[in-house]
């Protein structure tokens, strides 16, 4: 479980900030190739902004290695 502040956050930035990708371009490539899954839905838009709301946890999976729950505060 990863605690984050509520508000908007770019998906590519989140992936880099958590260390799941070495760079933003790598994060965007992973997203475009369909390696990112949010709440069971494949995401293919590298410019997607997540709206993190307090009390609404979000399950995110990046590739086969990284699975986590985002908990906005």
Q: What is the mean pLDDT of residues 8-20?
A: 95
Strand partners, 68: 60
Query: What is the per-residue pLDDT for 15?
Result: 95
Query: What is the per-residue pLDDT for 44?
Result: 96
Q: What is the mean pLDDT of residues 30-50?
A: 95
pLDDT band at 7 (very low <50, low <70, confident <90, very high): very high
Q: What is the pLDDT of residues 41-68, one digit of tens each?
A: 999 999 999 999 999 999 999 999 999 9
């Amino acid at each position: 479980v990863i605690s984050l502040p509520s508000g908007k956050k770019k998906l590519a930035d989140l992936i880099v900030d958590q260390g799941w990708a070495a760079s933003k371009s790598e994060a965007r490539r992973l997203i475009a190739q369909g390696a990112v899954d949010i709440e069971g839905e494949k995401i293919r838009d590298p410019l997607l902004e997540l709206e993190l709301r307090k009390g609404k946890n979000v399950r995110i999976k990046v590739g086969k290695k990284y699975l986590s729950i985002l908990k906005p505060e």
